[in-house]
Amino acid sequence: MKKVLVLCIANSCRSQIAEGYLRYFANGKAKIYSAGIETHGVNSRAIAVMKKDGIDISHHTSNNIEEYRNIDFDL
């Protein structure tokens, strides 16, 4: 299974939205992760925007890239 990392600065909004959409469209055919070089928590506006599209990212966490150091990503 492919492993995909979406990287952003704070892992609070854009990368969270991208992770949500990629998980939705991958439909279990890929493992999707997101991280930042900093962590700031998931932005409440990102959660609200995704909810409008029927995608729940309220359970996402804001992760630092260092947490995934040992994962060999495909993309």
Tens of pLDDT, residues 25-63 = 999 999 999 999 999 999 999 999 999 999 999 999 999
Angle at 35 between CA 41 and CA 64, to 5 degrees: 75
CB 11 within 8 A of CB 34: yes
Residue 54's pLDDT is 98
Give the span between the Cα atoms of 62 and 65, in whole angstroms. 10
Domain 2-68 belongs to what topology? Rossmann fold (3.40.50)
Residue 48's pLDDT is 98
The pTM score is 0.93
- Which helix H or strand E contains 14, and what residues bound it? helix 14-26
Mean pLDDT of 62-71: 97
Give the span between the Cα atoms of 17 and 50, in whole angstroms. 7
